[in-house]
Amino acid sequence: MSPSAAYKRVLLKISGEVLAGEQGFGLDARMIHYIASEVAEVAAMGVEVAIVIGGGNIFRGIDAANGGMERASADYMGMLATMLNALALQSALEKLGAVTRVQSAIDMRQLAEGYIRRRAIRHLEKKRVVIFAAGTGNPYFSTDTAAALRAMEIGAEVILKGTKVSGIYDDDPMKNPKAVKFDRLPFLTVIDKRLKVMDSTAISLCMDHNLPIIVFNVKEKGNIKRIVQGEKLGTLVKDEVGQA
């Protein structure tokens, strides 16, 4: 690992919407290449990188359920969407020379390895970028929850939540130019104020194990590298030492 890196192992959470780019739906090849280049640069530093990707750019299970589809079936369809995104990102990373593995929480042997915690850790130790697909493999759980769960299972030091804005605000900064950005927040404040960072299940998991989350603008070039080098960017969600 590069001596300039502040973290040895990180988990990057990216929403499917980010991969849609400006088109708003589907896969934007330029955005996929951009994300891959950002990740490859960090992996080349020797930082162990795992990734969880959403599928909202292709299919959102909860939206389909709200429209009348049976919830479990809709969520499974959303998990399949995450696999499409994972394979697209894997291809882009490998074109840049990064060694990758996709692990799926649902058995898809022709496409990816099944998720095995010890195997995932071994891949990371060998400096392979590991992409976790299909969420937790269970309906009713978001990919945010999958990110929190996988991060704890593999011993990640931090979750990097890549978004379209530069952190957590008291209001939607895309709609309210006077929205105030927070530099740091404790987990309970995020839950109590219902700040839209990750869903409450994911936040609770991170709070129980005091696993820090950094929310940042993934669309700003070099931000992932700056964070793993220890630069303070975005919003840090973490309890103070000794805080209940």
pLDDT in tens, 94-125: 999 999 999 999 999 999 999 999 999 999 99
- Residue 37: pLDDT band with limits 50, 70, 90: very high
Triad 196, 201, 203: Cα angle to 5°: 55
Q: What backbone phi and psi angles, to 5 degrees, belong to 204?
A: -65, -40
pLDDT, tens digit (0-9, with 9 covering 90-100), for 56-86: 999 877 788 788 889 999 999 999 999 999 9
SS3 assignment, position 162: strand
Average pLDDT along the chain: 93
**Residue 103: half-sphere exposure toward Cβ, Cα within 13 Å:** 22
Question: Of 172, 173, 163, which Cα lies nearest the Cα of 218?
Answer: 163
Which three-class secondary structure string do you get for 10-66? EEEEECHHHHCHHHCCCCCHHHHHHHHHHHHHHHCCCCEEEEEECCCCCCCHHHHHH
pLDDT, tens digit (0-9, with 9 covering 90-100), for 173-227: 888 989 999 999 999 999 998 888 899 999 999 999 999 999 999 999 999 999 9
The answer for 26, left when phi > 0, alpha when psi is -120 to 50, beta otherwise, is left
243 pLDDT above the threshold of 60 = no
Compute the average pLDDT of residues 13-23. 92
Q: Taking the model in full, what pTM does it have?
A: 0.93
**CATH numbers and ranges of domains, the chain:** 9-237 (3.40.1160.10)
